[in-house]
Chain A
Amino acid sequence: MSESLFEVQVMVNGLLRSGQVPARRLLSDFLRHDLELTGTHVGCEHGVCGACTILLNGKAVRSCLLFAVSVDGQEIVTVEGLVNQDGSLGSVQQAFQDSHGLQCGFCTPGFITTISAFLDENPDPTVDEAREAIAGNLCRCTGYQNIIKSVMRAAEIRRATDFSGSGIVTA
């Protein structure tokens, strides 16, 4: 049986991208395999680990819990899109480097996207709020302490640079 293909057009990191995919193509696989944006990582593939988190219309969602076909016409930002306009590291990315927020780096893309969306809504979080914000993402290296520091550091960088939104789409 050959599966029917659907045309999917999405705005990814400010660029219009398209592909022909079967309905069962997970958005995470669409990004990685069809669009070759391998920054988005796939860990558990059932919504537990958070590594595949992306921004859909500005909101953090799990890309492994969405079908590409169902987000046709919408706007996506991946970790690749969370850089500054000149291509240098974005605020959250920079904060992870500054605060040693990653070791193996596998979970990092999901943290960067989750934290970006969180700071867009809460630019000046407390440590407890930072901890709560990352509660849905798993990291097996860092013990989380440096990731919490990274959230606070990213908020600091954003305040210093008068940051006004995540990603090249809105920044």
Chain B
Amino acid sequence: MKPAPFEYVRPSSRSGVLAALSEAGDEAKVLAGGQSLIPLLSMRLASPKVLVDINRVPEFSTLHITDNQVVIGPTVRHQELFDSVAARQAVPLLAQALSFVAHPVIRNRGTSVGSIAHADPSGELTAVLALLEGVVTIESLRGSREVTGSDFYVGPLESVIMPGEVATKVTFARLPVNMGTSCVEVARRHGDYALAGVCAAVVLDEERAVDRARISLFSIGPTPIVVDISQLLTGSRSSTATFIEAARFIASTVEPEGDIHATAAYRKNLVEVLAAKALKSAYENALSRVESPR
């Protein structure tokens, strides 16, 4: 249960990180919080030749919140983002989802951008990125590029990040006042990996009825699954029956796999139950935002 030997570099600048990654190519792994990577190394499920520790780059730890957006640096810890009142007001779904991310002790070290880049299908933040169409900025010595929402994910534990590249920030637009969000999941214990989870976003029209609605599922497919159910919900108000109907449709579109923790049928059932709950809760969240805008 000890990691295999590796070369270790800890550049103190962005350019140093990019140079180290360029030199090591596909032999390198980026170390941010390490809360997923270090167990993989210890169990020798991964043994990169070079570990590039990005924790010494001062600008990487910046959490920047403006009138328009939340910009998360790659070494911002989950707990810092969770505790940020400004981030919570700008994009409430971040804190809603982070409350389910591991335990506080893990959140003290784990990073939100690292969690997004790790692309674990059960990662709550992967579903947040997909649902809100957050933008991941990826840099290398060749330059930088931006990838939006679901396009960032390729498969389980696989994103579009290529050898030599690193995610240097994730940007979420401030949510409009008429958009409400929610995150719900079922896990064996709070803080454990979810058996199934749903993030929802509901946008209200001027009459305070549903204008648009989308959900994003995690722990259900190889990557987060986004389903747009605007057509089913447009014009409806807080009618539980309508949300249940939409949830049934959502469940009919997914084919989850079974494993030791939950059967496929149970997961499908969870999607239905959780989606109805998430939609109702996002709708209520939108109503309260419209009624008392901050």
| B10, B31, B103 interface centre (most CB from chain A within 10 Å) | B103
A-B contact count (CB 8 A): 88
B positions within 8 Å CB-CB of A:
1-8, 10, 31, 34-35, 38-39, 41-43, 51, 53, 55, 79, 102-106, 108-109, 189-191
A positions within 8 Å CB-CB of B:
1, 3-4, 6, 22-24, 26, 29, 45-47, 50, 53, 56, 59-62, 64-67, 69-70, 114, 118, 132-133, 135-136
**Extra contacts besides A22-B5, A56-B109, A70-B53 (20): CB < 8 Å:** A23-B6, A24-B6, A45-B1, A45-B42, A46-B1, A46-B38, A46-B39, A47-B38, A53-B105, A61-B109, A62-B105, A65-B109, A66-B34, A67-B31, A67-B38, A70-B55, A135-B189, A136-B103, A136-B105, A136-B106
User: Do A3 and B105 have beta carbons less than 8 Å apart?
Assistant: no
Determine the chain B residues whose CB is within 8 A of the CB of A67 once the complex forms: 8, 31, 34, 38
User: Do B191 and A136 have beta carbons less than 8 Å apart?
Assistant: yes
Tell me, rounded to whole Å, the shortest Cβ–Cβ distance linking B83 to chain A: 10
Tell me, rounded to whole Å, the shortest Cβ–Cβ distance linking B220 to chain A: 23
Closest to B77 in A: A59
In the bound complex, CA of A69 to CA of B51 (Å): 12
User: Do B2 and A26 have beta carbons less than 8 Å apart?
Assistant: yes
User: Do A135 and B191 have beta carbons less than 8 Å apart?
Assistant: yes
Majority secondary structure, A binding face = mixed
Question: Which residue from A1, A47, A70, A136 sits with its C-beta under 8 Å from B39?
Answer: A47
In the bound complex, CA of A29 to CA of B42 (Å): 12
Majority secondary structure, B binding face = loop
Determine the chain A residues whose CB is within 8 A of the CB of B34 once the complex forms: 65-67, 70
In the bound complex, CA of A59 to CA of B177 (Å): 35
Some 14 contacts from A to B, beta carbons below 8 A apart, are A6-B8, A22-B5, A24-B6, A26-B2, A26-B38, A56-B109, A61-B105, A61-B108, A65-B106, A65-B109, A118-B104, A136-B102, A136-B105, A136-B106
Determine the chain A residues whose CB is within 8 A of the CB of B55 once the complex forms: 70
In the bound complex, CA of A70 to CA of B41 (Å): 15
In the bound complex, CA of A64 to CA of B102 (Å): 16
In the bound complex, CA of A167 to CA of B53 (Å): 29
User: Do A135 and B103 have beta carbons less than 8 Å apart?
Assistant: yes
Tell me, rounded to whole Å, the shortest Cβ–Cβ distance linking A144 to chain B: 12
Determine the chain B residues whose CB is within 8 A of the CB of A50 once the complex forms: 103, 105
Asked whether A70 and B109 contact (CB < 8 A) given A1-B5, A24-B5, A135-B103, the answer is: no
| A6, A50, A65, A132 interface centre (most CB from chain B within 10 Å) | A65
In the bound complex, CA of A29 to CA of B38 (Å): 14
Closest to A133 in B: B104
User: Do A24 and B53 have beta carbons less than 8 Å apart?
Assistant: no
